[in-house]
A and B are shown apart, each in its own frame.
Chain A
Amino acid sequence: MSANVFVLVASALASAVEFVEAFTVVLAVGVTRGWRSSLVGAIAALVILAIIIVIFGVAILRLFPLGALRTAVGVFLLLFGLQWLKKAVLRYSGLKAQRNEANEFEHEVEVLRGVSGSRSGIDWPGATASFNGVFLEMLEVTLIVLALGSGARAMGSAVIGAVVAAAFVAVVGYLLRRPLERVPENTLKFVVGIMLTTFGTFWAGEGVGISWWRGDLVILPLLAVYLVASWILVLALSRGRAEVPSSLRQAGS
């Protein structure tokens, strides 16, 4: 019994880390790119992974070499996160107009009126980011459950631990949804860009074989490094703009 409790707790804790990472991506995409796209990506990842597990079972380990998958997802998130971060830095330094939500809404309504029925309604970058994050993390949860469950011959405890962790993270994430939606979108995109770049760096690095300092915990210092670096870029670009006379800027634009 004690072995089962140990497996349950270990599975819950290890899975919770992966669920938090997956949920962070889903939450970030949902708040910034729309819940529909985020959920479509996440549900598609879960369905495809479930089908693969049912068909291939434990052979999943041979089907998806984790290193290659981490590299592919890491590269995608790096590209996606860096694009957002670049736009956010340019907006905060005054080189790109800040998003005006009222104008964006009007523009979107006009676009939808003009091409009514011709849009899929799915935001592909958002849905793909959500799909990638959920697929990779849920695959890792599967591996954790398989390893702990088969190693201690307590598959039931390992599965229950993972389910408890998933429910806990889902409830906390749902409660955080509303407060996050009140944060200004420019700020949110800046933060999300940093988060996606951080996860992208971490997964791509793991994929190519880099051993990160303190494993998953390196995500926190990575976040801090990208935050500080982005802010330095904003300050440097803002100062550069201030030093150029406005008449010259107008002549050059």
Chain B
Amino acid sequence: MNVVRDAVLWVWDFVVGDLVLAIGVAITIVVGILIHHAAWAQIVFVLLVLATLTAAVYRVALSQ
């Protein structure tokens, strides 16, 4: 049962572990779905991933 317990704990930690990343990736996916027909959609998609990384890094940096 340790395997199941470890798995459940990990999924919980993974989902709520970093809300900035989770929210950023969710926004990226939703925007991607909305604009996927546009030729420039791939650029916006990558920029949103970069913005998510930047926000997550600076959240930690500013809290120190």
Q: Which residues of A contact B (CB under 8 A)?
A: 71, 75, 78-80, 82-83, 85-86, 89-90, 93, 95-96, 118-120, 122, 124-125, 128, 197, 201, 204-205, 208-213, 218, 222, 225-226, 229-230, 233, 237, 240, 249, 252-253
| Chain B residues in 8 Å Cβ range of A249 | 64
A to B contact number (C-beta, < 8 Å): 96
Cα distance A82–B24 in the bound complex, in angstroms:
10
Query: Do residues B18 and A86 form an inter-chain contact, with CB atoms below 8 A?
Result: yes
Contact code string B33-52 (vs A, CB < 8 Å = 1, else 0):
10011000110011001101
Residues of B within 8 A of A253 (CB): 64
CB-based closest 4 A-B pairs: A209-B36, A124-B10, A208-B32, A120-B3
Specify which chain B residues have a CB less than 8 angstroms from the CB of A78 in the assembled complex: 25, 28, 49
Contacts of A118 in B (CB 8 A): 2
Nearest neighbor of A204 in chain B, beta-carbon distance: B29
For the residues of B in contact with A, the DSSP-based class is: helix
Residue of B nearest to A213 (CB): B42
Q: Is the CB of B45 within 8 A of A71?
A: no
List B residues at the A interface (Cβ < 8 Å): 2-3, 6-7, 10, 14, 17-18, 21-22, 24-25, 28-29, 32-33, 36-37, 41-42, 45-46, 49-50, 52-54, 56-57, 60-61, 64
Give, as a whole number of angstroms, the nearest-CB distance from A36 to chain B.
13
Residue on B with the closest CB to A221? B46
CB within 8 Å for A237 and B57 given contacts A79-B21, A208-B29: yes
Closest chain B residue to A225, Cβ basis: B46
Q: What is the minimal beta-carbon distance from B37 to any residue of chain A, in angstroms? A: 7
Q: How far is the CB of B58 from chain A (nearest CB, A)?
A: 8
